[in-house]
Structure 1
Amino acid sequence: MAVGSESLSHAIGLRLTSVALFATMNVVIKLAEAHGAALGEILFWRQFGAALLVGAIVGTGPGFASLKTQRFGAHVLRCVIGLTAMSLTFWTLLLLPLAEATTIGFSMPIFATVLGALVLHEATGWRRWAAVLAGFIGVLIVTQPGDGHIPLLGIATGLGAAFCTACISILLRTIGKTEAGLTTVFWFSTLSLVPLSLVYASSVKAHPPLVWALLLAIGLLGGVAQIAMTRSLQLGAVSLVVPMDYTALLWATLFGWLMFGMLPVPSTWIGAPIIIASGLYIVWREHVRRQKATRGAISQE
């Protein structure tokens, strides 16, 4: 097998692994909350475990000198938006069944397209706008606002998390031009511990050993998943690896059934394919746009 093919296979494997690990982490989050852990505790341990893991990798590998950055302000902004996204994501997981929470999160590429057009002034043709409209229709089918089968608060937190995650994707496009993936993960994990420590101090309480084990598992699972996700983008193009994220719905459905005895409602089975198709088309159109831009740059040389 050619080296390029090996790298692509490795990228896809890492992305699939990260999706499976994040899905497992989501289950552990719901179990920890069910056994008495507060949201503030869950958020703290998610970042504390990730910071320990990334710190160990950096310390035994490239060394902490490799984390030097000239864009500290950008990392602070990424931390603020990232913490907001993570808080809303975890809140959504506690409010909704796994499959519905995961499906609403798939609306992120829709928001990213809108933000790319408004903030980065990216050229967005009618095809992508049609995909955005179709995606929002899929969201409406899944959530059915006013029907009551999904709490309105869960819909709001889920869409808010998707929007904030889209904001991060826009921000990382600029940070990634000068910063290594491991550097970005390290600063996000460590900087977020400052405000989370204050939150944790006000919510910490005694737990049985099982809950402490669940909290630690959340951090380690999230840390490994985040590193695998970041590394996948270094080895493969976005258009190649991002579609793997939609396997999260398979995991959410399986875990929801096995762990909590819940299957997606009929509207989710209808709306989810529409949202996924919208996201896949947006990723594909972005791939086409970048290919055209690359060919144009080469022809001008």
Structure 2
Amino acid sequence: MTSAPAERRLLAILLRLVTALALTAMFAIVKLADAHGVTLFESLFYRQALALPLVLGVVGWGPGFRSVRTQRPGAHVWRTVLGMTGMALNFLTFTLLPIAEATVILFTVPIFATILSAVVLKEPVGPHRWSAVILGFAGVLIVVQPGGSTLPPEGIAVGLVAATVVSAINITLRQIGRTESATTTVFWFTILSALPFGALMPVLGKAHDGWTFGLLFALGLMGGLAQLTSTASLRLAPVSVVLPIDYSSLVWSALIGWLVFSTVPSPHLWLGAPLIIASGLYIVYREQKLHRERTAGAVATD
């Protein structure tokens, strides 16, 4: 397999930078909206509903709506249930914790994905990745400082559960991706979540002032932008190239936390975060390396 041209990799990296910034902005908006009386349900609805025109536009102007036909509706329904659960837990994490600390805790997704792959899918996980998992959890302990942390324990608990659910989503997407394109998966996730939430809005929605509705509009815009740029980056370059860029969100979250919320990350965060990031990067590196070896072995035996 030939590697992606350098210019495509550069574009993929730039798109992933946009993804990291858009996601950080989205989570900051969720935190601001919560302070203005927006419920978790409303944040979820506006995140999906306002992203819907973007997704429809991309599908309509791109591969066309025939391309999103699926023979696996049950898989998309399950992905939507998992996806909305993970999104709700992510949003709740950012309302309970300072934005930088919430970001770092969600960096544990590759760690939990490795554990779930071994326990649920029975995939072989060698000593290299188990060592990375232990390193990552050491970083988590440094950040959260059990027994002496000023972070609310419920926020830490919700964040770790959120990371576990998101790791399950990633495994589900990997399985769905064997037969479905990324555009098809994004399309059905958006449709299947926006429509039922929209049906409940007359009952659960509330009136807000113009400033708050502006926040909700920005929330949907940032979420849709992140979803599209993330998908596009993975079409242009391998995961091993674009995933390290995701960790730039720590810089954005620390900056936004300081400028918008007047919070400064604790020294423990800067000590533990590198361990969590190193753990995640090494897990991805090992997975890519093992995938290449299996692919080369399959080709050799053909």
Identify the TM-score tier after normalising by the shorter chain.
Answer: over 0.9
TM-score by structure 2 length? 0.95
Q: How many residues in Structure 1 have an aligned counterpart in Structure 2? A: 300
Alignment of 1:285-300 (within 5 A): 285-300=286-301
Aligned-pair CA distance for 1:233: 1.3
Alignment of 1:1-301 (within 5 A): 4-197=5-198, 199-301=200-302
Aligned-pair CA distance for 1:117: 1.6
Report if the CA contact (8 A) 1:131-1:282 is conserved. Answer: yes
Cα distance between partner residues in 1 of 2:30 and 2:295: 42
Where structure 2 has 5 or more consecutive residues not aligned to the other structure, the ranges are none
Aligned-pair CA distance for 1:3: 6.7
Cα distance between partner residues in 2 of 1:52 and 1:195: 16
Name the aligned partner's letter for residue 164 of structure 2.
F
Name the aligned partner's letter for residue 100 of structure 1.
E
Name the aligned partner's letter for residue 78 of structure 1.
R
Cα distance between partner residues in 1 of 2:4 and 2:42: 44
Structure 1 residue ranges (4+ consecutive) displaced by more than 4 angstroms after TM superposition? none
Deviations 1:2-25 (A, max 9, x none): 971112112111111111111111
User: What secondary structure, in the 3-state scheme, does the structure 1 residue paired with 2:206 have?
Assistant: coil
Cα distance between partner residues in 1 of 2:75 and 2:161: 21
The two structures, once aligned, show a CA RMSD in angstroms of 1.5
Aligned-pair CA distance for 1:91: 0.3
Report if the CA contact (8 A) 1:105-1:161 is conserved. Answer: yes
Deviations 1:256-290 (A, max 9, x none): 01111111112111111110111111111111111
Aligned-pair CA distance for 1:193: 2.1
Cα distance between partner residues in 2 of 1:135 and 1:152: 19
Cα distance between partner residues in 2 of 1:42 and 1:58: 24
Aligned-pair CA distance for 1:219: 0.7
TM-score by structure 1 length? 0.95
Cα distance between partner residues in 1 of 2:157 and 2:260: 25
| Cα 1:267/1:200, change in 2 over 3 Å | farther
Aligned-pair CA distance for 1:235: 1.5
Aligned-pair CA distance for 1:201: 3.5
Report if the CA contact (8 A) 1:239-1:286 is conserved. Answer: no
More displaced 10-residue stretch of structure 1: 5-14 or 44-53: 5-14
Deviations 1:47-105 (A, max 9, x none): 00111210122223332222111111110000001101000000011011110000000
Cα distance between partner residues in 1 of 2:217 and 2:95: 18
Where structure 1 has 5 or more consecutive residues not aligned to the other structure, the ranges are none
Name the aligned partner's letter for residue 262 of structure 2.
G
> What is the aligned-residue identity percentage?
51
Aligned-pair CA distance for 1:121: 2.5
Report if the CA contact (8 A) 2:4-2:237 is conserved. Answer: no
Cα distance between partner residues in 1 of 2:84 and 2:243: 22
Cα distance between partner residues in 1 of 2:290 and 2:50: 38
